[in-house]
């Protein structure tokens, strides 16, 4: 059985093709852009072409993510919380807690040994501790967000006190005016992001093995900072950004 999971996030749209929910056949990621509908259709075409499979051979397409309602060709749409649980369990079966930092929200999810969601908390009312927070701050520093980790490595971070992105931006501008280096500020921003997520995690409990997912999880130094702050081991995979799409493809195996 061939299923495709499509996860439309605020920044990136991901698609994963799986066989029987057990083996990944192909995956693709593309910027979401202004139209979730167009990015969903584009990533669907790309993942089909990568594996040389015609649409007629696909048994089910499952949509998830904030833009899932735009997938009018999907057989079913499922919440990203459910899909993240299934996806993390697939990539690392020992996972009990998921920390996901995406473009517009951050969330902590507790799951059981089958990948079913037990509880979760989400910060979707404020950009603090999200990819958007780091994107805004990177623009203020005039550096690419992908360079933050390298820039901050080995630096002593300048403390960013504000929990609000707007006020934090003002802090960054003030720090620059005072002569702080970009590296010191970058380190402070990553530490601030980690602290915000740890507060969220503390409210629900970071139990067992913790899986770190989302686009922000690709920042090496942020992973290291969070690992230092936690007593648990922080698990990461090269496919961490795809866990929503993986989970959606797995859900597609079940009878709808």
Buried b (16+ CB within 10 A) or exposed e, 96-131: bbbbbbbbebbbbbbbeeebebeebeebeeebbbbb
Reading the block at residue 101, the tokens are 């930092």
Give the H or E element holding residue 13.
strand 12-19
What percent of the chain clears pLDDT 90, i.e. is strictly above it? 74
Which tens digit of pLDDT belongs to each residue from 106-147?
999 999 999 999 999 998 667 777 888 898 999 999 999 889
Q: Please provide the distance, in angstroms rounded to a whole number, between the alpha carbons at the two ends of the chain.
A: 14
C-alpha span between 155 and 28 (Å, rounded): 35
What the chain holds in terms of domains, given with CATH numbers, is 1-92+239-256 (3.30.420.40), 94-236 (3.30.420.40)
C-alpha span between 107 and 220 (Å, rounded): 19
Nearest CA among 194, 181, 192, 193 for reference residue 154: 181
Give the residue-averaged pLDDT of 168-187: 94
Q: Would you state the pLDDT for residue 18?
A: 97
Range of weakest confidence among 24-33, 54-63, 106-115, 163-172? 163-172
> Virtual CA dihedral for 49, 50, 52, 57, nearest 10 degrees?
-80
Nearest CA among 101, 168, 163 for reference residue 136: 168
Can you name the residues that pair with 53 across neighbouring β-strands? none
In the predicted model, is pLDDT for residue 65 greater than 70? yes
C-alpha span between 60 and 124 (Å, rounded): 30
Q: What are phi and psi of 189, to 5 degrees?
A: -65, -40
Q: Would you state the pLDDT for residue 124?
A: 65
Q: Would you state the pLDDT for residue 125?
A: 66
Mean pLDDT of the chain, nearest integer = 92
Residue 166's pLDDT band, with cuts at 50, 70 and 90, is: confident
The crossing angle, in degrees rounded to 10, of helices 80-91 and 243-251 is 100
């Amino acid at each position: 059985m061939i299923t495709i999971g499509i996860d439309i996030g605020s920044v990136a749209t991901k698609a994963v093709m799986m066989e029987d929910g057990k083996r990944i056949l192909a995956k693709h990621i593309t910027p979401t852009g202004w139209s979730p509908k167009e990015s969903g259709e584009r990533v669907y075409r790309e993942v089909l072409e990568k594996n040389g499979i015609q649409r007629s051979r696909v048994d089910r397409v499952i949509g998830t993510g904030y833009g899932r309602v735009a997938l009018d060709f999907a057989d079913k749409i499922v919440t990203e919380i459910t899909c993240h649980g299934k996806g993390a369990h697939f990539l690392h079966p020992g996972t009990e807690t998921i920390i996901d930092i995406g473009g517009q929200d951050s969330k902590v999810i507790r799951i059981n040994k089958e990948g079913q969601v037990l509880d979760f908390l989400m910060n979707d009312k404020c950009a603090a501790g999200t990819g958007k927070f780091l994107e805004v701050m990177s623009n203020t520093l005039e550096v690419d967000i992908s360079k933050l980790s390298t820039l901050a490595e080995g630096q002593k971070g300048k403390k960013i006190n504000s929990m609000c992105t707007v006020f934090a931006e003002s802090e960054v501008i003030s720090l620059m005016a005072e002569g702080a280096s970009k590296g010191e500020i970058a380190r402070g921003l990553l530490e601030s992001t980690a602290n915000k997520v740890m507060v969220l995690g503390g409210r629900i409990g970071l139990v067992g093995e913790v899986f770190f997912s989302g686009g922000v999880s690709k920042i090496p130094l942020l992973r290291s900072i969070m690992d230092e702050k936690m007593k648990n081991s922080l698990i990461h995979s090269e496919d961490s950004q795809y866990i929503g799409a993986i989970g959606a493809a797995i859900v597609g195996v079940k009878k709808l």
